[in-house]
Amino acid sequence: MARRGIGKYILVTAAACAVCLFVVWIKNPGENAAASAPAENMAEMDAAVAGPEGSIESEADAVIAAEALGLGSAGAADIVEVVELTGSRGLYDKNSAQALELVLADKVLVQLGAEYEIEKGLEELEIPQEPITYFGYNNLGIAEVDNHLNIREKPVDGKLVGKMSNHAACEILGIEDGWAHIRSGKVEGYVSTDYLLTGPVALMVAQKVIEPVATVNTDGLKVREQPNTNCSVMTFVSKGEELTVTEVLDGWLKVDLDGEDAYVSAEYVKVEDKLATAVTIADLLYGSGVSNTRVDLVQYAKQFVGNRYVWGGTSLTKGIDCSGFTMQIYKRYGISLPHHAASQANYGTRVTAATIRPGDLVFYSKGGRINHVGIYIGNGQVLHASSPRTGIRISNMNYRTPARMISLLP
């Protein structure tokens, strides 16, 4: 009885730590690298494990899945056993995934030299009611696109309700006929599975792209040039805004502010690891009561959301920086601007926050010198080529303090 109790205790412990063990393996296979899937089998693994169905249809598929999970070909029997036990072929099925995690934990404990033999006892295993989560998702999906992935209200020809940029994450609610029912951020709808990673491949990509994000929890947070209170204030950031953390210091955080290094006090932010999520169509609305030219310009500019940022770049599809973005957008409407944010700020007519309209330009500064520009798209938002980390994106106009606003359109 004592031995059986210890076995149960270890199984429970295995269940509790399974997620951590699996993620550690993904991040650093280390000595088990020899058991990983060969490069030439990745295409097969992608189809068998991380395809639209994420399914195990045969013993051959199970072998590929076992190799991908670092179990070696012998692990195929475990996967088949789990599939048969749970009555589900989907690797991301909740019950199947949870049972498989216990098998993985079992093997890891044995590899670590556990003193007690662990009987799997899958037939007697009670599947936990709470689903296992990775990065906050039960069934993780990752967009794999050059620009953005459209989210529709219904499959095939549904109304557009949102967009996911490359490597944005979502919760997979179900898959049918090549379409995945997903939830990402504030958006719920359907995306084509042709552009959605699932299963182990999604987990591996997520592990690579997830970043720590600092959410501001005070009004008017000072963003400084150095990690101390004696240096200059670059700008102010509003409550609720998010900043990508690049380094944690003693009492300070180094953050990415439109491609530049900046510092904020750790006392006034909450830091969490986050994956990017979808943008709602509501966030892309430009408002009403504006000229056709302004409406057309904003609609044209929005199609590039999610595209790459490249310093000095001028390509709307291959890579562009902030002033290059505004220069190229305005060029389409017959307005020539220099490829320099501070110079662009000297064009047009100055406007205020009360009179700004969609299509106007909003400028930001560092140390009193203008160094960034975006296009106002209505509803208190700007569209801008932000940084190499975030690409072309939509932000609140006051995500940092605007230095100047100008109008170039009727």
- Long-range CB pairs of 250-254 (<8 Å, 24+ gap) are 251/227, 252/227, 252/228, 253/214, 254/227
Per-residue tokens: 151: 């989210």
Does an H or E element contain 253, and which?
A: strand 252-257
Strands 314-315 and 319-320: antiparallel
Per-residue tokens: 293: 């030219």
Given the residues 148, 167, 170, 384, the one annotated as active site: 384
| Burial class of residue 137 in the structure, from the number of CB atoms within 10 Å of its CB (0-12 exposed, 13-18 middle, 19+ buried) | buried
Does an H or E element contain 331, and which?
A: helix 322-331
Does an H or E element contain 98, and which?
A: helix 94-111
Cα 65 to Cα 46, 106, 171, 224, 377, distances in angstroms: 9, 17, 22, 49, 46
> Distance between alpha carbon 6 and the CA centroid of its chain, in Å?
41
Left, alpha or beta for 377 (phi > 0: left; psi -120 to 50: alpha)? Answer: alpha
Question: Taking the CB of residue 272, how many other CB atoms lie within 10 A of it?
Answer: 13
Q: Are 262 and 233 in contact (CB under 8 A)?
A: no
Q: Are 295 and 377 in contact (CB under 8 A)?
A: no
Question: Is 231 a residue of the active site?
Answer: no
Given the residues 148, 167, 170, 322, the one annotated as active site: 322
CB within 8 A of 238, min separation 6: which ones? 216, 219, 220, 221, 396, 398, 399
Given the residues 148, 167, 170, 372, the one annotated as active site: 372
The rounded distance, in Å, linking the Cα atoms of 325 and 296 is 16
The rounded distance, in Å, linking the Cα atoms of 381 and 301 is 13
Sign of the dihedral through C-alpha 189, 190, 196, 201: positive
Question: Is 181 a residue of the active site?
Answer: no
- What letter represents residue 60's amino acid? A
Largest CA distance in the chain: 84
Catalytic residues: 322, 372, 384
